[in-house]
Amino acid sequence: MTDHPGDLDQIRHAADELVPKLTERLSRSALGEIEVRAGSLRVRVSRAVEGPSTAAPAAGSQATARAEHAAPTAAGPTAGAHGVPSPAVGYFVYGDGLGPGLVVEKGDALGFVEVLGVRHDVRAPRPGKVRNLVTETGEAVEYGQTLLELEPAEA
């Protein structure tokens, strides 16, 4: 494996602290995988692929928690709401003052997705009222992932 004590410390740190934190973060998101690099250490945590031929997960309760959380995020927006999708893979940041109950017009800035230092604006696709903030500011998002939900504007 390795002959360097520092490498063993990095592995212990990854096993004791980094993997549980990444697993928890993955379970809260719709991402399929998270990878972190720190120096020479690279840690990747992936969501288990479920299907009829999938055996019981070896990781026990953590894998079960991820599988249970995966269903609601895949379901999409709640009834009557329109999901606002991410325009790119990157890190999402909400606009200042954005929160549930805020009325927005078509084209209003809702936030941005940062990709390699480049901002991709997220704008309201239609008028409405913010119902639910689905992601957290600074969260890694995938293309098409629902960032927030808008209720249709009242006529």
The contacts found for 43-49 with CB under 8 angstroms, 24 or more apart, are 43/14, 43/18, 43/19, 45/19
Report the pLDDT value the prediction gives residue 82, as an integer from 0 to 100: 85
Domain segments of the chain: what residues?
5-74, 82-152
| Size (the chain), residues | 155
* Between 84 and 49, residue with greater pLDDT: 84
Q: Which CATH architecture has domain 82-152?
A: Beta Barrel (2.40)
Task: Tell me the mean pLDDT in the region 37-63.
Answer: 54
pTM to 2 decimals?
A: 0.50
Give the C-alpha separation, 128 to 77, whole Å. Answer: 14
* Between 17 and 86, residue with greater pLDDT: 86
Report the pLDDT value the prediction gives residue 45, as an integer from 0 to 100: 74
Q: List the structure tokens of 118.
A: 């480049």
Assign 3 a pLDDT band (cuts: 50, 70, 90): low
* % of the chain exceeding 90 in pLDDT: 29
Report the pLDDT value the prediction gives residue 38, as an integer from 0 to 100: 66
* % of the chain exceeding 70 in pLDDT: 65
* Between 4 and 78, residue with greater pLDDT: 4
Contact 131, 79 (CB under 8 A): no
* Between 33 and 71, residue with greater pLDDT: 33
Packing angle, helices 19-28 and 61-74, rounded to 10: 30
